[in-house]
Amino acid sequence: MADLCIREVDEGVVFAAKVVPGSSRTAICGVLDGMLKVKISAVPEKGKANQCLVGFLAKELGVKRNAVRIVSGQSRPVKDVQVSGVTTEALLEKLNLNE
């Protein structure tokens, strides 16, 4: 199992994400200090990077955009992300973090 710190909640899972905005492309870079490291191509202004993160994670996890939400850290690089309707195992599998 990857060393991504994931909390199970009633609706799904919550995990921390380290977001690097303004990158050349949007991609998952792996796990850093228990957080999912994600490079985002959008710039960090007017919520564009957050919207890009939500859309990217929804696509990668195969869920609707409204199933992914940032629960804390909207204006910081480290964010807590909640994904509804997904288990820990499914999250790790879909993000290719299984060992």
pLDDT in tens, 12-61: 999 999 999 999 999 999 999 999 999 999 999 999 999 999 999 999 99
At 6-26, the pLDDT tens digits run: 999 988 999 999 999 999 999
Half-sphere exposure of 40 (CA within 13 A, CB side): 24
More confident residue, 54 or 1: 54
> Would you tell me how many other CB atoms lie within 10 Å of the CB of residue 23?
15
β-strand 35-39 against 12-20: which pairing, if any?
A: parallel
What domains does the chain contain, in order, with CATH numbers? 6-94 (3.30.1200.10)
pLDDT on residue 2: 56
Contact 31, 2 (CB under 8 A): yes
Predicted TM-score of the model (pTM): 0.93
SS3 22: coil
